[in-house]
Structure 1
Amino acid sequence: MNDDQRESWYDDDAGPVVRLYAITRGRSKNARPDVDMLTLVVNASAGMRPRRSDPEYAEILRLSRTALSVAEVAAHLNLPLTATKILVGDLIDDGYLEHRSPDPAPEAAARNQSLLRAVMRGIEAL
């Protein structure tokens, strides 16, 4: 069988053939516990070139010109949330991204519980 007749073991629809551990350099846990899927990130580099040359980092900086949640960044990159959180954490540590995690106020949590109890009483009344 010559090279022209060989079938390719992947196709264009399969996407990139790079394993996630290569993108995250073998890391599987986020070193920043304050970064979750609802964390908003915005580019704070003001035109500075990142020291990391991987294309995923450049794309995160490009996407975050306006505030985006980490979940939105993951969707745009077509990467799992865990890998995206690692990459975003790297850029935060390097000072290229500003972030803000939602802090639920204690009174908001109490209101949610009372609302849930009211809904439960209504369902039980049916």
Structure 2
Amino acid sequence: MTPYWEDEAEEDGAGTMVRPYTITRGRTAPERDDFSLITVLTTAQDPRDEHGAPVRPGRLQPEHRMILERCRLPAAVAEVASDLGLPVSVTKILLADLVAQGLLLARAPLSVARVAGGADMGMLAAVRDGLRRL
């Protein structure tokens, strides 16, 4: 499937690189580098700035609006990039914009141990003790 942003009129392939460059306004790296492919993103329900005032989104690009719509339900960075048909590097730049504006929340995925009700501390102590004996 051809991403919607590719210019099919270009026969030399040059059009495929212009649009992502334009989407990011020439940026090649996000402001923050803590996004992994499995970072979970959710649209903020009541976005507030650091002073507690409601955040009014500035002029958003269509891609920003699509991300906010997609992240109404939690989604990983890789899922968002795939759904938009954009490279992960470009998607991370857009995600960082939205997080900086307070419109999108990002968190590390829940670990399997936390989801399963927590780690068995007795088991962890036994493993630790066994490793020390080696």
Q: Which TM-score applies when normalising by structure 1?
A: 0.64
Q: Which runs of 5+ in 2 are unaligned?
A: 1-7, 48-54, 114-118, 125-134
Name 2:76's counterpart in structure 1.
69
**Identical columns (%):** 41
The alignment status of 1:52 with 2:59, answered yes or no, reads yes
| Counterpart AA for 1:19 | R
Partner Cα separation in structure 2 for residue 41 and residue 33 of structure 1: 15
The gaps in structure 1 that reach 5 residues or longer are 1-8, 112-126
Q: Does 1:30 align with 2:37?
A: no
Give the drift of 1:53.
2.2
The offset of 1:36, in angstroms, is 1.7
For the aligned residue pairs, the C-alpha RMSD in angstroms reads: 3.0
Q: Does the CA contact (< 8 Å) of 1:45 and 1:95 recur in 2? A: no
| Whole-angstrom CA distance in 1 between matches of 2:30 and 2:94 | 9
- Relative to the length of structure 2, the TM-score reads 0.61
Are 2:47 and 1:40 equivalent residues in the alignment? no
Task: Please say which structure displays the higher CA radius of gyration.
Answer: 1
What is the CA–CA distance in structure 1 between the aligned matches of 2:59 and 2:37, rounded to whole Å? 23
2:36 match: secondary structure: coil
- How many equivalent pairs are there? 97
